[in-house]
Amino acid sequence: REEDEYSELRSELSQSQHEVNEDSRSMDQNSVSVPENQSTVVTADVDNCSDLNSELQRVLTGLENVVCGRKKSSCSLTVAEVDRHIEQLTTASEHCDLAIKTVEEIEGVLGRDLYPNLSEERSRWEKELAGLREENESLTAMLCSKEEELNRTKATMNAIREERDRLRRRVRELQTRLQSVQATGPSSPSRLTSANRPINPSTGELSTSSSSNDIPIAKIAERVKLSKTRSESSSSDRPVLGSEISSIGVSSTVAEHLAHSLQDCSNIQEIFQTLYSHGSAISESKIREFEVETERLNSRIEHLKSQNDLLTITLEECKSNAERMSMLVGKYESNATALRLALQYSEQCIEAYELLLALAESEQSLILGQFRAAGVGSVGDQTGDENITQMLKRAHDCRKTAENAAKALLMKLDGSCGGAYAITGCSVQPWESLSSNSHTSTTSSTASSCDTEFTKEDEQRLKDYIQQLKNDRAAVKLTMLELESIHIDPLSYDVKPRGDSQRLDLENAVLMQELMAMKEEMAELKARLYLLEKEKKALELKLSTREAQEQAYLVHIEHLKSEVEEQKEQRMRSLSSTSSGSKDKLGKECSDGTATPLTLAELRPYNESELTAELTNALRREKKLKARVQELVSALERLTKSSEIRHQQSAEFVNDLKRANSNLVAAYEKAKKKHQNKLKKLESQMMAMVERHETQVRMLKQRIALLEEENSRPHTNETSL
């Protein structure tokens, strides 16, 4: 399927290149044939088409890059797999040569052909090896041809890009010309509306049957008709190419969406099966390996995307928290400043109250001393008079100290507040009566001098300053805000739907990240399972080869043992033949009647016990040889059965390959039908777009005719009714 898509894209690119060349030639012809007074119409059409053409060329460039990247990856993977397949074939040929040499050695030792089928099997394996080598050579040639085709495609794409850049420069030049023409001769909107011709909202065309005074547009349209329209009408029967889509009005987003949906609809299995059906030597195991690796990489990509989304949401949340914390810190700083000002005002109020209290206490002690000096409530004696004078002196000293401190505080408050709140003619406070009583009684010279120094006005000023400080402190308290704690999550107090949506987005991102992690782990486990299955199959093949080698070695050992036994039997037969010849000789001598005396050395080898032992040994060896023969026959039967099983498995494998090939052909036909249906749908859509484009062109022509009519009409007086 990928190969089919690649060939289709190549055909589309070639068609688009041909279309671009035709458009450039037609534009050159039009630029020569069109008069100077009609240049505005040409540049407007070219501008409208060039913008859409540039958008479509951008989309096609992205598709070309994707296809080239996938083609390069598939080509590189095919080369690596072919090299690995070559290595496997070489190792298999080495094993086969080793087995053939072993069998030849066994046959040479035995001196006879025990396995007549080995020569046929050997020739068959040699033919299969030659076929595999030819297939390898064909695969390498195919790879070279594919690489050459890829290089040609790259060269074609570079040529298309150069042509595209040239057309873009041409479009920029036409746009600059159009802007200059529009700047020299703009049309007024009042003249456009003076014709009072309604426009059809469905097609955008001007209605020619609105009034009986309308001038027919056919002659004007015939006058400004271009040669390009004639060429378009003559070539209306040909199929719509890729470069014409941009002139119809399809946006780049729609084209990208169509390409993305087409890519999503393609299945990886169908792509690999199509590649296999087109002759690329990719086995089913390699296809499965590619699928597992692709799934693992896709899951890894999805996992990384989910992690990126989660980190993005977390970063946004951290940014919002940081902004909230900075705002909260600013509010806390403003509250701390307000509290500092309120504390300063409170300290000044406390200081003023302490001075007022000291003044009141000193005045009270002074009044008490004056009462005692006047003799109220006490008996006069000398000691009492001395105590009264001391009390009055202490009271005057305390009063003086309090007045000095009050004056200093007043000077300080005057300096800080500027005396702006000095109150004149205020009502007398309740404690002012206490200070006024000191002036009604008879006092000493020191008391009168103190009252003149610190008057009631100064005391009233001090009280006014206290009231001012209270008011300032109350005003500062009003500026303080009730703030939330730093350690409380604002989402728990946020009842807005935006906060809920953000929290749900974060939870969804976390769940998606966990899901993608699970998918990635599953894909990795599948990849590990596939690798373990491959290792298991390789170990099973190794085990089967080792079993075959073991059987061959056992047979060789049995042959060697049988040879040793045969040599022993030959030796015993020679001994028995010599003993029988000596017995015949003795019988002949007895029959002749010549009684020749026998020595002990001549009778020793003819002991009956030794003869019986030799006979029993011969019988035992015969039984062993029969058992060996039976074992050899059974081993031969096992080997024939295993060879038959292998032949059956190879036949089943060939049948499976045939079925897979038929399935691939069916899938290819199905994909081809699907592609043809999609192509028909796209052709119908493009025809509809072409019709829409023709209606738009017709509408533009009518507008151009209207503008020319308005420009050619004599200017009437604007004040006339």
Confirm whether 618 is domain-assigned: no
Which helix (H) or strand (E) covers residue 588, if one does?
Answer: helix 497-592
State the total domains in the chain. 2
Confirm whether 321 is domain-assigned: yes
pLDDT of residue 191 exceeding 50, the answer is no
* Among 2-6, 630-634, 690-694, the least confident range: 2-6
Q: How far is Cα 413 from Cα 71, in angstroms, rounded to an integer?
A: 90
pLDDT confidence of residue 711: 81
Higher-pLDDT residue of 609, 487: 609
Residue 223 contacts residue 715 (beta carbons within 8 Å): no
Same-domain check for residues 372 and 476 = yes
Same-domain check for residues 408 and 354 = yes
Same-domain check for residues 374 and 277 = no
Same-domain check for residues 381 and 270 = no
Same-domain check for residues 139 and 235 = yes
Domain final residue, candidates 486, 502, 526: 486
The average pLDDT across 483-508 equals 60
Same-domain check for residues 202 and 246 = yes
Under the banding of pLDDT at 50, 70 and 90, the label for residue 7 is low
* Among 31-35, 136-140, 341-345, 511-515, the least confident range: 31-35
Domain final residue, candidates 452, 486, 520: 486
Report which residue type is found at 117: N
Q: What is the mean pLDDT of the chain?
A: 69
Residue 210 contacts residue 198 (beta carbons within 8 Å): yes
Per-residue model confidence as pLDDT tens digits over 331-368: 888 889 989 998 988 998 898 898 889 888 888 888 88
Q: How far is Cα 675 from Cα 5, in angstroms, rounded to an integer?
A: 9
Q: How far is Cα 241 from Cα 237, in angstroms, rounded to an integer?
A: 12
Same-domain check for residues 337 and 207 = no
Q: Supply the DSSP string of 619-645, one letter for each residue.
A: HHHHHHHHHHHHHHHHHHHHHHHHHHH
Same-domain check for residues 137 and 272 = yes
3-state SS, 303-371, equals: HHHHHHHHHHHHHHHHHHHHHHHHHHHHHHHHHHHHHHHHHHHHHHHHHHHHHHHHHHHHHHHHHHHHH
pLDDT of residue 282 exceeding 50, the answer is yes
Same-domain check for residues 201 and 247 = yes
pLDDT confidence of residue 50: 56
Confirm whether 263 is domain-assigned: yes
- What's the whole-model pTM score? 0.30
Under the banding of pLDDT at 50, 70 and 90, the label for residue 606 is very low
Same-domain check for residues 266 and 329 = no
Confirm whether 160 is domain-assigned: yes
Range of the domain at 407: 317-486
Per-residue model confidence as pLDDT tens digits over 475-491: 888 888 777 766 655 44
Confirm whether 556 is domain-assigned: no
Per-residue model confidence as pLDDT tens digits over 610-656: 777 778 888 888 888 888 888 888 888 888 888 888 878 878 777 77
Backbone φ and ψ for 14, nearest 5 degrees, come out as -65, -40
Per-residue model confidence as pLDDT tens digits over 199-240: 443 334 444 443 334 444 334 334 433 344 444 444 444 444
Same-domain check for residues 74 and 198 = yes
Positive or negative, the CA dihedral 386, 387, 393, 396 is: negative
What is the separation of C-alpha 402 from the centre of its chain, rounded to a whole number of angstroms? 83
Residue 136 contacts residue 82 (beta carbons within 8 Å): yes
pLDDT of residue 151 exceeding 80, the answer is yes
Confirm whether 656 is domain-assigned: no
pLDDT confidence of residue 292: 80
| Percent residues over pLDDT 90 in the chain | 0
Same-domain check for residues 261 and 403 = no
- Which token pair is 698? 């017709």
Confirm whether 455 is domain-assigned: yes
Q: How far is Cα 562 from Cα 566, in angstroms, rounded to an integer?
A: 6
Domain final residue, candidates 486, 516, 532: 486
pLDDT confidence of residue 415: 80
Confirm whether 680 is domain-assigned: yes
Half-sphere exposure of 554 (CA within 13 A, CB side): 14
